[in-house]
Amino acid sequence: MEEYRISHDGILQAARHLISGTSTQFIPGETYISPHGAIIDGDDVQTLVDCSLGMWYTEGRFAKKFSQQLRLYLENRMRSVTLCNSGSSATLLAVSAMTAKEFGERRLLPGDEVITTAVGFPTTVNAVVQNHAIPVFVDVELRTYVPTIDTIEEAVIEGKTKAVVLAHTLGNPFPVQEIKDLCSEYNLFLLEDTCDGLGGTYNDRQLGTWGDFATLSFYPAHHLCAGEGGAVLSNSPMIQKVMDSFRDWGRGCWCKPGSDNTCGKRFEYCWENLPKGYDHKYVYERLGYNLKMTDLQAALLSSQINKLPDFVAKRRYNFMYFDELMQEFDDWFILPKATRHSEPSWFGYPITLKSYACSFGRKELIDFLTEHKVGTRLMFAGNLINQPAYKDVDYRIHKDLYNSDIVQDYTFWLGVWPGLDEEHYEYIGSVFRKFLKDKK
């Protein structure tokens, strides 16, 4: 045991030293300002070491611990947490679950419609297409980059629309309470993609607690980092059972990894076309996947979530500080605003060029920022229907996607992650000032 403790302490001390050694002084014009990043400290590494020395790497004690912590953070409004290997997989699980026969007439069938937006990340929509449903694209507002409740309601076709799948774009909430009420009225599923918005609120209620499903991502750019990883939140035991089955190869057994015969009747079930008493652990009720999270990822998350309130507060502060600075340039840019009744946990700071007021294009500005070590990102896929992958996809457009095209051509975003400070934003402001000095 003494040898184990020395080994453990030695690994931890070395890891802490490596982490502290990665911090570098910011040198304006020389230090790259990343639009996103993760904050990993010694406590996180200690938890990883604890997990790794425990020699159990598939879903285990840390997955259970993190699931409990996450539910507590969300004020126990969502009873179930299905952990998985990415935010994209979380969306795939949620949409696939909508197709389950357990939901009767409400289930999502091939040819049914799902309302979403063309401005967003592709895997929010891909799961709809892969389940043979028809995405219905609606436009977004500029400045908020989310659709209005009126736009969503106009797109509903009774008997044909089965779900609404929307993301809180860059952490800015869509009008989730109003859309939830609409979905209840028409008996539609609501999938609340919260990958960009963990920690944000709408009407003082946490994002990720409104929908039938809510998805999270733990990619390094997001609010909590596990390297990779995701989760689906729900408030229905039936939904959790279906999602766990899709995640775990499609099997009907609910035993956790390493467990057998939880139900006490492992060899007593009967199924058509299978021998009587066939092992329940090897009965597959649906066409599933293997999308599980490792316990190493969950261990990192169980440490990271203790810092989530500070991460959220820093993102909000960075957004506010940079937004005040950017008001100087509002003649050239459409600057963002939070949706009404919301307090976002911002993922990024979106900027849209006023094309009619600018003598320059987005590429020219981004090239200048890049040259001066300021990292940028586009608004994900822009208008999805113009991406090569969607050339042969069957979809419907509600009205037009005028603003989506503007986002595609003129929008980009800068970082507000907790690794940035006021000195970074003062420098970014000086770069904008330098670029715009001689512009008309």
Segment 123-157, tens digit of pLDDT: 999 999 999 999 999 999 999 999 999 999 999 99
Dihedral angle, C-alpha 148, 344, 222, 115, nearest 10 °: -10
Evaluate whether residue 41 is within a structural domain: no
Please, which pLDDT band fits residue 4 given cuts at 50, 70 and 90? very low
Q: What is the pLDDT of residue 1?
A: 35
> If phi over 0 gives left and psi between -120 and 50 gives alpha, with beta otherwise, what is residue 312?
alpha
Residue of 162, 205, 222, 191 lying closest to 39 (CA atoms): 222
Q: How confident is the model at residue 10 (pLDDT cuts 50, 70, 90)?
A: low
Q: What is the predicted pLDDT for the residue at 270?
A: 85
Residues 311, 273 share a domain = no
| CATH label of the domain that carries residue 369 | 3.90.1150.10
Structural contact between residues 343 and 201, judged by C-beta atoms closer than 8 angstroms: yes
Task: Report yes or no on 124 lying in a domain.
Answer: yes
The mean pLDDT value for 34-40 works out to: 95
> Is 348:35 a contact under the CB 8 Å cutoff?
yes
Residues 55 and 91 in one domain: yes
Identify whether 390 is part of a domain: yes
Domain count, the chain: 2
Q: Which of 305, 320, 354 marks a domain boundary?
A: 305
Q: Residue 253, Cα to own-chain centre: how many angstroms?
A: 28
Percent of the chain past pLDDT 90, that is, above it, reads 83
Q: What is the pTM of this model?
A: 0.92
Q: Which of the following is catalytic: 36, 168, 222, 372?
A: 222
> 407 and 288: one domain?
no
Percent helix, strand, coil in the chain, to 5, is: 40, 15, 45
Q: Which domain holds residue 172?
A: 46-305
What confidence score (pLDDT) does residue 20 get? Answer: 42
CATH of the domain at 194: 3.40.640.10
Give tens-digit pLDDT for 287-331. Answer: 999 999 999 999 999 999 999 999 999 999 999 999 999 999 999
Tell whether 249 and 346 lie within a shared domain: no
Active site residue 222: yes
pLDDT for residue 199: 98
Residues 75 and 171 placed together within one structural domain of the fold? yes
CA 314 to chain centre: 19
Domain end among 280, 305, 330: 305
Rounded average pLDDT over 415-438: 96
275 shares a domain with 150: yes
DSSP state of 255: P
What mean pLDDT do residues 80-93 have? 97
Cβ–Cβ under 8 Å, residues 327 and 335: yes
Judge if 414 and 281 occupy the same domain.
Answer: no
Q: What is the pLDDT of residue 256?
A: 73
Domain boundary, last residue among 287, 305, 323: 305
Based on the fold, state whether residues 180 and 75 are members of the same structural domain. Answer: yes
> What local confidence, expressed as pLDDT, does residue 440 receive?
67
Within-domain flag for 250 = yes
Q: Both 371 and 392 in a single domain? A: yes
Please check the confidence at residue 192 and state whether its pLDDT lies above 50.
yes
